[in-house]
Structure 1
Amino acid sequence: MTPATPAAAGTIAELIRTRRTVRLFKPDPVPTPLILELLDIAIWAPNHMNRQPWRFILFREDGRKTIADAMIGTYAVEDRETFGGKKKAYFENVPAHLVVLLKEDPRQKVWDEDYAAVCSLIQNFQLAAWERGLGVFWRTNGYNYDPGFRDAIGVLPGEKIVGLLHIGYPDAIPREQPRTSADELITIVEN
């Protein structure tokens, strides 16, 4: 990893290929209007019947302590003592945390479509953020299912946490990870 800043891509293909998951952030705050602007781009994700099955909770500034405490509260006592301080410090130092929620529908087909839409929204957000010089780390940890964590951060009954996004200006950008070419993964049926 080398300290760097995302470069504006010339094409969508370049933007997709150059985006990286960023875990180390500079301490610079990310303005709320910028996050709202990125969300207003991200909500153009495809979604069946224009259901827009998403909701967001943003933790910034002192609000980061709320989400850090909620996360540490899910740890067993011995894990809190071993890892808690380091994890809490990380959460409190990431400039912004965005919880992306799915409004769950009891019909399986609708749930599947809506989940896919929210995942598309998150990818849109990551790409738009990268284009603006921001890094994003999309987390799907076990604490997302913990009732105490969910209550502490304001998740409502009938909502699923699809991602906890850490957002900030990159302090280090990971190297490119190789991808398996599509020609090795595709089955083509022509007749």
Structure 2
Amino acid sequence: MPYDSAATRARILAAAIEEFSAYGLAGARVDRIAEAADANKRSIYVYYTNKELLFSATLHEVISRVNEAVPLTEDDLPGYAARMFDHLIAHPAALRMHLWRQLERPELGPDAADVYSQKMAGMKAASTVGQLPPTDLLVFITGLAQSWILTPRDLLTAADGGDPFAAERLAAHRAAIVEAARRLCEPAPQASATTP
């Protein structure tokens, strides 16, 4: 069978996502990536040059997948928060890769500043901002979507001792995310005029 470089690259990238999401850039080992990808270690260096560039490629892949699967909908931020929560529950490596990026190489990965700027301009134009500046609102919405996964498990089980990742518990939390996001997006209450 002829050598398939595209398939080898895809296997390396998939193995690298698993390795980097578990160990970060500093803790990841090229030997383990090569073994998991059923690839020659040398091929990793041929395709990606070094471990840091492979890490960067995995960030691009993971962030692109998230952006494609969960596009930011500035006119429906509660729905966006719910869809992002669903995606992160189904794809935990995505959030772990984001956290490793923030810890080890925040400058790596695709630059989404233009996309965020356009979305925030859309939020202003659509009057979906509510009482908060668009940047703060988007930070809070993103935080809501990530919060369940980032919260210590003992806090999640404190209320009833049940499995915090059981389907019914996730559904309840998803509904809470939607409601919290909806409230964040509400316009400021109008001050009532008083007559002397």
Q: TM-score scaled by structure 1?
A: 0.23
Question: Relative contact order (alpha carbons < 8 A, sep ≥ 6): 1 or 2 greater?
Answer: 1
Give the structure with higher Rg (CA): 2
Give 1 or 2: higher helix fraction: 2
Q: TM-score scaled by structure 2?
A: 0.22
